[in-house]
Structure 1
Amino acid sequence: MVFGKKKWDPAGKHCVVTGGSAGLGLSLAILLAKRGAHVSIVARNQERLDKALKEVEAARQSPEQVLLAYSYGVDSAKEAEAALDAAAQPHDGRCPDALFLCAGKSRPGFWIEQTEAQLRECMEETYWVQAWPALTASKRMVAEGVKGKIVFVSSVLGYFSMVGYSPYSPGKFAVRGLAEALQSEFLLYGIDVHICFPGTILSPGYIEENKVKPKVTLKIEETDVGSQPEVVAANLLKGVEKGDFHITYDFISHTFRASTRGSSPGNSSFMSQIYNVIGLIGLPLWRRDVDKEVLNHRHEHYEYLRSRGLAQ
């Protein structure tokens, strides 16, 4: 960042949050409302949306704020376009100033257990659920001359992956690839692109995820304490306000960012070098321990596969 550059302020701006009925999306919507933004939350379940909107309303700072909820699934181009159409109506049809793409779902599992239908669904829940709204919003921003913001949410598993996440990580890597391309392309239009790489978020989705997560993955993650959605939301918004492209907020994600960012715009050249050195030394050791844990699980895993008719 250029020294003295003014931070982005959400006050008075229209911010659309997908996945806004729970977890990170809801926490972010509440935070944006507290900062004086007009907030539209989008999610499938109307009942959860109604409850979430009450929480967003409780954060209202002025009677002029427009705080609304819309029930749409954004994993198709048609639904994503309809959601943006609906959200734009109370604002004289103008496209939003910022789009926060928090919708998504994790379905861990072993690769050889997956079917074509399951893998396609995983990509819809991780990649397309962000790509379609981004496509719709960016077309509107360019057509209307709005120099807005599009904020993707990947995962620390968009920097690396491991056993149990083969159905999930590809979509998060794809989101990163899309953000990398658009960060460059959207320089043409003055549209800012950001992407956040959160670790474990202690949300309702995480509880459901752990119900199907392989035992070996749970074992590897047993020391991961995770973060509350409010903490992740605050760090995500802080990164957007500062103008960071890759947004990370803890030691692990900083280290993976510095070690794997390639030619992506950096947040802090000095600190990135520090984290890069840490990664050069520490990450190979960490990976060695992960691989050792996987190999130790081999016998139990084959017993599991035999019980499922997947091995002799």
Structure 2
Amino acid sequence: MTVGRFAPSPSGRIHLGNILCCLLAWLSARQKGGTVVLRIEDLDSARCPRRYADQMIQDLRWLGLDWDRGPEVSGPDEPYFQSQRSALYQAALDRLEAQGLVYPCFCTRAELHAAGAPHREDGLTVYAGTCRNLTPTQRAERSARRPPALRLRVPDKEVSFIDGHMGPCTENLERDCGDFLLRRSDGMFAYQLAVVVDDAAMGVTEVVRGADLLSSTPRQLYLYQLLDRTPPEFIHFPLLLAPDGRRLSKRDADAGLDSLRNRVTAEELLGTLAALAGFHPSGEPASAAELLGEFSWETVPREDIRLPAHLFES
């Protein structure tokens, strides 16, 4: 049985890109008769106060996007807030450490983003391996000055997969991402580790998310392999852009539901998003349930989508 999920980070009011992600994930799972899990990715508790998560839950209910397991719904894989799942992440980290694959990193943010650091074509920094081969003495000296982050040692290895929408993808772990974070220096577990542990524990078989996370998939597939868990199918969709071509952000208040709920109904909003995603040509108001019969990944574009200006008008 298909188990899909929506895993938003409640660092502010959800915007149209978040809503499209939830809609597509919901439609994809429901059309297959599957289960939908809602997980709140609030690892960074300072940026994700509980009031944002509570508001997000209210917004999803207003949109008519329900879930079978998650907050306010009991389930076998509780809790559904990442801030309450640290013991699971620590157990996975311990397993990776036992394989000799984890090492401490003392690099500062400034050092990581220095001009001489290697960068990918998309501008992301590739970790240069600065702390990979420190001696025990060097590690002890640096630990006395600052707490370390923890990184996973990756091999010179190609990871290939077929995305359910974007098609074949390949990355070399060493060249294209480098040794990546498992836990930050402040003790917070990193996204790559937490999302793999949670999706595996919750039996997720299908992950629908924006194309900005496509490049993280090889790292996650490698973690699935090391932790001896079965990975889900990954389906990435194009990003929604503001009318001027900017990527959406929770800072774009006019694209958030706090503004939109005063101007449009849930059905109007879903109908517009479904039209932009290519499977509801009329753009007429429609509920999520009404869109089930029209939804098809075949019609969803692969290039980023610009939003119409009227959705940004206050």
The alignment's TM-score, normalised by the length of structure 1, stands at 0.33
Higher share of residues assigned helix: 1
Compare relative contact order (CA 8 Å, sep 6+) and give the higher one, 1 or 2.
2
